[in-house]
Structure 1
């Protein structure tokens, strides 16, 4: 198959492979070359005519376009349908057959609040950026000694470069050093066998800015401290910052009223010297690790999974392979009683009506509409807008308007009803599909999803991105086979099989769920974990697309 019409109402066709000018495919004759992932017009269009894809408005023609013309940023402008609160909820959905899954379990870490983690981490975090250096001092002191040091992949290669330089020879002639050390074998040397790692997080918040920034940061940090994948935490405070200890404690109580994990909070201005602070933090952290190491993996139903749905480095195939594939996985999990999170609100532009209609509760529908309109308004006030969301990489690979990108991105949410609409950094409390207001920025959004409770993140990509998270496995799914073969060190799952005609969307979705169960059980490590990809960027609620 060379082309695809995604929805019966579409008037553009997707090229699944490179097509040549003058070529006739089915009833379509092309007026120019159409690269794979790009779209061409089904019939002639006049200036102002609607461009429809995935059954929704995604743009308008800027000029007359003959049938068989490639659409691009030069001849199409962004456009999206308006939206409003509908008189009726539209919550019927395609419930998948879960008979083979209903008795399946994963091996996870059971917490006192009833949640189950897919990993067991200890956190060392600052309440304010002034403590970032002390966090790094703790990392230098503890990580290597306890068996959690970062793999030194390229030190030998660096030594070769230095040696060649001192000898005055050309460094370009040096062969690459192949890194062969088994990361998992290195993990076996860790002191605490049941603890997957100590994660030392840093950030640039906690003071300055506005007081709401401090409150939001404390909410996010509380989300990480109370997270099912976290056994306990050590928190460093300077003392005088906006993000006060009492604020963090308040946010923890919101998320976990009966919070019982080990939590050690140290105030530098009260403690005194750096030595006193660091040694106290090390003693308390070590004590907490001893306690956390007593926990082991035990069976849990799949309803205890909370999965984040994310995309980054998207391409023209993302919306027809990887995104609908994890959308099917999402529907399976919802049918099993699990929770899923769909975020990136700038990438829901153009599908607002569908998403608001799918809200079970009218109050959630109104909240979603208000969050979307407020976000768009603030972007416009800053001289931008959702129409400026697609990146150069997105555009180069066929996503030429935000509405095209968004219509494909929304497929990650499957077809199930929306159980709740959350504003960052609120925590998921209901099973089902949850909409979480975040930017489209990959790392900010992934950071937020995990802060809201995601214990694994499914991250689709068409161009390739190494994004990870400190406490939750981030599984990368390629939209095309070429990417999977080119970047096997960061891609976990290939859904290009759908484009290649080797697999259906439901088959891929089921395969993904099997993979998720293995990762959740600690059987299969995520590439992001093996690579030590610990990306953590809190969103300050400013305009970020």
Structure 2
């Protein structure tokens, strides 16, 4: 018989509906009979008891809200009847967190690119990136010039040609809209000119000038972080010349963060050139020269301990914290047990679970750093007229995540149970094996961009509503929280964690399968976002981004 409800933690006083439940339905919750007083959509929560105004609501064993009014036993929990509320976290004197690492097969390897600094990449890409948004157009001009020679060309679409011819014949808009049409995803045979290069990636952004000097420096740190990522073989960098993110600043940050970095890097400044045509020609020539250099490196076996896995979520639903996020946490624990590195980010989505994070830090300095970063971030959000409470998106709310603390308690499950070995600020590099925290916003693309900038060589991305997010330097595997969405959006979803909800898989059996898929992708199998060429890159402008 299919399970209808779930109490996530023994301390919880709200219950999750695993499927659509009608008003009047009597459900059994661990021996307690509850009659529903209204319809409860799947993924939403209902009251296990009567709540008076001001009572605390508990889920995942932590406070996720407070009742705004009387809530009857069996009533739906909504954005109207509860408000975001959390318990205050404290730092203890003793840091003696212990955990039981999962049993893992240590003889697991992937085929990676070994760099001179000892790191191993899952990709070998060349980046073409600007120091300022003024160069975005030139980045795209280089892409237009190079791509026909470096990327497979799409086949001519006869249906599209027919539609265009039809449109030229007169006022036929309604007829065109009713015509059957599909994009072709097939491509002709194409031999890559650089067989050991996984692609040239063209980054654009809206930073580098017009903001604070600090944001200019942070952009330089982020771009240097991408250069340091073992997935990157080298880069062509375009500068205008007058922006905040000066070439001199970039070089200063490069020397500070990566002294002696032995990767080809070519920098071109437009205001020092005779013409745009000459400027672009020089950039294209250096890109091709760089490709000839990085094409010499080949994939070789590397232990799984050389992987750095970034944990991300976006488009979360009411099942994300029950299936996909805990699954990512199990995989993170496996990676750590194998001697590898995992990264948990999205600080606004750790609001409400600070005590668990603090207790898992292996030293007091990191616990204090985490607490200070969370306070500074929260205070800045409040000063801007917002706050962590505003973090859930309309899509989150429609699918049952009605407070930031509820969303956070489920999102934090991506970090598993491993001890936290270091707490890093935005753009700081992961240097230790184990689970690290990196301060990023909750915004999907900004956070994914930051994870890769701090060293992630594979990103696991859980989603309940579906999102195509990818990254130019690192493969992003999309893990769905529910099977319905996975089946409907097969072109963007890499792994279905909905089998955990249906009972087909346990967290452990699903984690074993997902780990093998990670190894395959790390060895060169394309993630869905790579197939779609979804190369999202958004630097975080720290003025405020939630």
Displacement of 1:25 in angstroms is 1.2
Over aligned residues, Cα RMSD in angstroms? Answer: 1.4
- Using the size of structure 2 for normalisation, the TM-score is 0.96
Secondary structure of 2:149's match? coil
Question: Alpha carbons of 1:156 and 1:540: their partners in 2 closer, same or farther (altered >3 Å)?
Answer: farther
> Is structure 2 residue 101 aligned with structure 1 residue 95?
yes
Secondary structure of 1:203's match? coil
User: CA offsets, 1:195-215, max 9 Å, x none?
Assistant: 111011111111121110110
Aligned to 2:403: 401
Give, in whole Å, the separation in 2 of the partners of 1:45 and 1:365. Answer: 34
Q: Which residue of 76, 80, 86 corresponds with 2:86? A: 80
Give, in whole Å, the separation in 2 of the partners of 1:74 and 1:236. Answer: 50
Secondary structure of 1:465's match? coil
Aligned to 1:535: 536
Question: Alpha carbons of 1:383 and 1:526: their partners in 2 closer, same or farther (altered >3 Å)?
Answer: same
Aligned to 2:72: 66
Of 509-518 and 158-167, deviating more is 158-167
User: CA offsets, 1:270-310, max 9 Å, x none?
Assistant: 23211221111122111111111111100001111001100
> Is structure 2 residue 122 aligned with structure 1 residue 118?
yes
Runs of at least 5 residues in structure 2 that lack an aligned partner in the other structure: none
Aligned to 2:196: 194
> Is structure 2 residue 303 aligned with structure 1 residue 301?
yes
Give, in whole Å, the separation in 1 of the partners of 2:52 and 2:140. Answer: 60
Aligned to 1:179: 184
Matched-pair contact (CA < 8 Å) for 1:28–1:68: yes
Aligned to 1:484: 486
Deviation beyond 4 Å, 4+ runs, structure 1: none
Matched-pair contact (CA < 8 Å) for 2:155–2:186: no
Secondary structure of 2:315's match? coil
Displacement of 1:246 in angstroms is 2.2
User: CA offsets, 1:221-248, max 9 Å, x none?
Assistant: 0011121111111111122221112221
Secondary structure of 1:145's match? helix
Question: Alpha carbons of 1:136 and 1:148: their partners in 2 closer, same or farther (altered >3 Å)?
Answer: farther
- Using the size of structure 1 for normalisation, the TM-score is 0.96
> Is structure 2 residue 110 aligned with structure 1 residue 106?
yes
Give, in whole Å, the separation in 2 of the partners of 1:536 and 1:517. Answer: 24
Secondary structure of 2:148's match? coil
Q: Which residue of 258, 266, 280 corresponds with 2:282? A: 280
User: CA offsets, 1:1-25, max 9 Å, x none?
Assistant: 1100000000001000000111111
Give, in whole Å, the separation in 2 of the partners of 1:123 and 1:287. Answer: 13
Give, in whole Å, the separation in 2 of the partners of 1:312 and 1:252. Answer: 31
Matched-pair contact (CA < 8 Å) for 1:226–1:252: no
Give, in whole Å, the separation in 2 of the partners of 1:444 and 1:89. Answer: 32
Give, in whole Å, the separation in 1 of the partners of 2:308 and 2:89. Answer: 29
Matched-pair contact (CA < 8 Å) for 1:223–1:452: yes
Give, in whole Å, the separation in 2 of the partners of 1:338 and 1:253. Answer: 27
Displacement of 1:178 in angstroms is 5.0
Aligned to 2:463: 461
Q: Which residue of 386, 405, 410 corresponds with 2:388? A: 386
Matched-pair contact (CA < 8 Å) for 1:113–1:256: no
User: CA offsets, 1:43-98, max 9 Å, x none?
Assistant: 11111110000000000111111111111011111101111222222521231001
Displacement of 1:152 in angstroms is 7.1
Give, in whole Å, the separation in 1 of the partners of 2:92 and 2:237. Answer: 46
Aligned to 1:368: 370
Instruction: Trace 1:292-331 onto structure 2 (pairs within 5 A).
Output: 292-331=294-333
Instruction: Trace 1:125-136 onto structure 2 (pairs within 5 A).
Output: 125-136=129-140
Secondary structure of 2:467's match? coil
Of 495-504 and 231-240, deviating more is 231-240
User: CA offsets, 1:172-203, max 9 Å, x none?
Assistant: 33112252405xx65x4221111111011111
Secondary structure of 1:318's match? coil
Give, in whole Å, the separation in 2 of the partners of 1:221 and 1:84. Answer: 36
Q: Which residue of 39, 51, 54 corresponds with 1:48? A: 54
User: CA offsets, 1:113-160, max 9 Å, x none?
Assistant: 1111101100111111121121111111111122366x579x555433
Aligned to 1:36: 42
Displacement of 1:330 in angstroms is 0.1
Question: Alpha carbons of 1:503 and 1:7: their partners in 2 closer, same or farther (altered >3 Å)?
Answer: same
